[in-house]
A = this chain, B = another copy of it.
Amino acid sequence: MAKNKRDIERQVKQEEIEAAATRLFVERGYDATSMAQVAEQAGVAPNTLYWYYKNKDEMLVATLNRLVGKGLSEYAQMADQPLDTQLLWLLGQFEQFSALVTTVHARVEHAATVREWHANFHMMLDQLMIARLQAQGVTAEQAGLLATVTGFVVEGLLSHATPQPQREAIVQWLLRAGVQTA
């Protein structure tokens, strides 16, 4: 698709910027990271960022897509594990970005682009979960409900720092109860 020296440099520079943004957002948090800091880490002037992203929220979405992409490719290895194992693994993965979970919810109200990303993300996870549950014989309706609840519980666990044993107990109970009461 891209063959110019320009097109290549553009992609490289975008990757540098997004790598810097990801690192800072994860380490210090979105609010505490200024555009100037991202620019400095990426080795460009602050306003240069606005050539690549319309605003800070779009930069956030770019980093989110990057993180999710990486996460999904690793998830492929887990495809044949039982559901509770998968969920606990997912929680472990997301833990490092737990601050971003809150950030996304905070920005959803203000930025249409984040709102859209958020909606798609939930739909994707719901679909994944529903497919797994239906394969276990859960009805479509019950699977939908359970997927929604599971999503809420995952977000809750991430944004409320729950100790590991309690976390496991919750996930295990939820799935057992979900299938049992189907």
In the assembled complex, A177 has its CB within 8 A of some CB on chain B: yes
The secondary-structure label for the interface of chain A is helix
Contact of A29 among B109, B149, B169 (CB under 8 A): B109
Contact of A99 among B102, B103, B109 (CB under 8 A): B109
In the assembled complex, A127 has its CB within 8 A of some CB on chain B: no
Q: Give Cα A169–Cα B99 distance, bound, in whole angstroms.
A: 30
Query: What copy number does this chain have within its complex?
Result: 2
- The verdict on A159 contacting B102 (CB below 8 Å), with A145-B170, A152-B152 known, is no
In the assembled complex, A162 has its CB within 8 A of some CB on chain B: yes
Let me know if B170 and A181 touch, CB within 8 A.
no
Let me know if A174 and B148 touch, CB within 8 A.
no
CB-defined contacts of A153 to chain B, threshold 8 Å: 149, 152-153, 156
- A–B Cβ pairs within 8 angstroms, 18 of them: A29-B110, A32-B110, A102-B105, A103-B106, A122-B160, A145-B169, A145-B173, A148-B162, A149-B174, A152-B157, A155-B155, A155-B156, A156-B156, A176-B181, A177-B177, A177-B178, A177-B180, A180-B181
Interface residues, chain A, with chain B CB atoms under 8 Å away: 29, 31-32, 99, 102-103, 105-106, 108-110, 122, 145, 148-149, 151-153, 155-157, 159-160, 162, 166, 169-170, 173-174, 176-178, 180-181
